[in-house]
Chain A
């Protein structure tokens, strides 16, 4: 890693200084209200004809100051706010936060709670990937997959609703374990869903994977090399599609992931098509985990003995889990009172979005839509 390498890397940093325009370059403004920016993201593209020469993402339209609110709430009161960040994968946000506070307290959720948490998080991963696939295909022009994906996602949301009464911002977990016992028929529902989900994923694959136009629109678009991926700290499916086999569920198992075996799909070229294949394979792996998990959900208590008022001794902890978008980290500092002194969320979408400029350079304007879709960002998490 000689020093020269850092010089070319520093060119990532400079945003597009819009005032300096080449001979026939124009600035094209996309968003913040735009059909395919997945929320309020504004992208300033510097174009030379059709080619993207530089780009700058302007974010913050959905900034609600969640971290400031955290300092005025108790640990339990802040839990519902966490669901509102990545509102597409609320359950995994909740898991990350609860486990971080449990680590802060030095407590440990009982085995039964850990297994149920794993099942619900994996179902949420499938639901999040389904929403990604539907909207991503719709942006590129395939009208049909979005309806198939939402049909399956509906099944998962029904299971969430039966379990904790809410479909999207579920607040399903509590610090120390679970609030609700699993409803009877929970195992049967999950089994029925997982049973025919494999055939459904085959359905999407027949529609898209060998579709020449789909391959034409995604292969070689938005390439991110492994070295750039690490430099830009991109995580999740985007990193795995660039050839790095790293998943926190395997590297630092949390909840009950160490009890099940599943494999980590990776691809080499790191273009939009590879990210599509990685996410499709991840859905199959999540289904595998769920099937193994519901075989034996251990009996026993669902809540650790940590008492009603939580006063973690002063200190700090950084706990990261594998959210559908990437590494979701919580850095919590406590000063011994009932309210956290500082809660910092490491948002995977925010950091993955920074790689957009690297991917979009040199591509065509029409590919920008595909690249935004393939990074799979949710603006609630980008802006916090």
Chain B
């Protein structure tokens, strides 16, 4: 039943997943031309457009890490900083020690299969002294290991294990990287866009029950 996700050709996509509509690279900042405004139904308050962000925090980061800080945007009044995956751990340690972001609220990933570096590793930080939130994002390719931030925030231990379990992102430097929610011998990474539930079911049914399709 080992449907190795990598050799699947992209067009076998679940019917109801979005078609080429969102083909434009969804990085908000780069999509300069926002998609055509939704038909003006009753006057709805549209959210503020994502806008490049340039406050002192971003300047300090740029001064410190130079081009490792790829972009900084403000989407719906929330600061997002895109960083290079390689320096993720140093930037994380800097954010915790000097910028006082002492709590890693959440660490997760988003799968954009059409990009060459398909995964977004997203870190939501929070600072108790400054009562501020910051979101670090890093792009990671399919089999490209991401530096683990376990030493910086110990809570990342389970969060990174869940990311590995759901997306297959390998966090190098993690003390005990193995699946956390799914059984250890599980094949495939469910939250990847090309992990098709329907195909999973038909494979299993065909293999174990010998009938064509369970639907």
Contact = CB atoms under 8 A, between A and B. Distances in A.
- Contact between chain A and chain B defined by CB under 8 Å: yes
Contacts of B17: 71-72
Contacts of A300: none
Contact-residue bracket for chain A: 35 or more
Contact of B180 (A60, A230, A329): A60
Contacts, number: 160
B105 A329 contact: yes
A68 B183 contact: no
Interface stretch (B38-46, B53-61, B206-214): B38-46
B205 interface: no
Contact of A10 (B108, B150, B158): B150
Contacts of A104: 47, 76
A272 B104 CA distance: 24
A317 B75 contact: yes
B7 to A, nearest CB: 21
Given A305-B43, A307-B42, A311-B38, A354 B108 contact: no
A71 to B, nearest CB: 7
Contacts of B110: 333, 341-342, 344
A329 B124 contact: yes
B78 interface: yes
Interface string A340-384: 011010100011001000000000000000000000000000011
A305 B181 CA distance: 40
A155 interface: no
A192 interface: no
Contacts of A306: 44
Interface in A42-93: 59-60, 63, 65, 67-68, 71-72
Given A12-B157, A13-B175, A318 B133 contact: yes
Interface of A: 1, 6, 9-10, 12-15, 17, 59-60, 63, 65, 67-68, 71-72, 103-108, 230-233, 244, 246, 251-252, 305-307, 311-318, 320, 327, 329, 331, 333, 335-337, 339, 341-342, 344, 346, 350-351, 354, 383-384
25 contacts: A1-B97, A9-B154, A12-B154, A13-B154, A13-B157, A13-B176, A17-B176, A71-B193, A103-B76, A106-B45, A106-B46, A106-B76, A230-B103, A231-B153, A233-B153, A318-B105, A320-B105, A327-B105, A333-B110, A335-B18, A337-B22, A342-B110, A346-B105, A346-B124, A354-B157
Interface of B: 14, 16-18, 21-22, 26, 28, 31, 34-35, 38, 41-50, 75-76, 78, 80, 93, 96-97, 102-106, 108, 110-111, 122, 124, 128, 131, 133, 135, 150-155, 157-159, 166, 174-176, 179-183, 190-191, 193, 195, 197
